[in-house]
Amino acid sequence: MLSERLLLRVGLGCAVLGIVALYVVLLFAELPVQDLSVVAVGHQDETVRVVATVTGVRHAGNGTVTLLTLSEPVTRTAVVFDAVNLSEGEKVDVEGTVQLYEGSPELVVSKLTTVK
């Protein structure tokens, strides 16, 4: 029969290994790419990832907010709370949360990379 001390060590070891395994999975997990049409009223508060073409760039809030118009083939607005240097025609991979702003859906960006 195993002693209580040994059972405690085995249990703690399994818990630590489980946490490390979950962390590794989280590091390599990616959201699937979805259509830009998922940025819609029925999907608010969902985290989504889309690949689209930038068709408009506006800066607001003294340059601390960037508003992107993304098209693929529907058009949606993406908000980046940072100064972003993008040009029309660039393709971007965007991850963020769908939110409503004045009744219209928009994507609040948490991760943005350009696609070559």
Per-residue pLDDT of the chain (116 residues; tens, 9 = 90+): 679 999 999 999 999 999 999 999 988 888 899 999 999 999 999 999 999 999 999 998 887 899 999 999 899 999 999 989 999 999 999 999 999 999 999 999 999 999 98
CATH of the domain spanning 33-115: 2.40.50.140
Buried b (16+ CB within 10 A) or exposed e, 59-98: eeeeeeebbbbbeeeeebbbbbeeebeeeeebebebbbbb
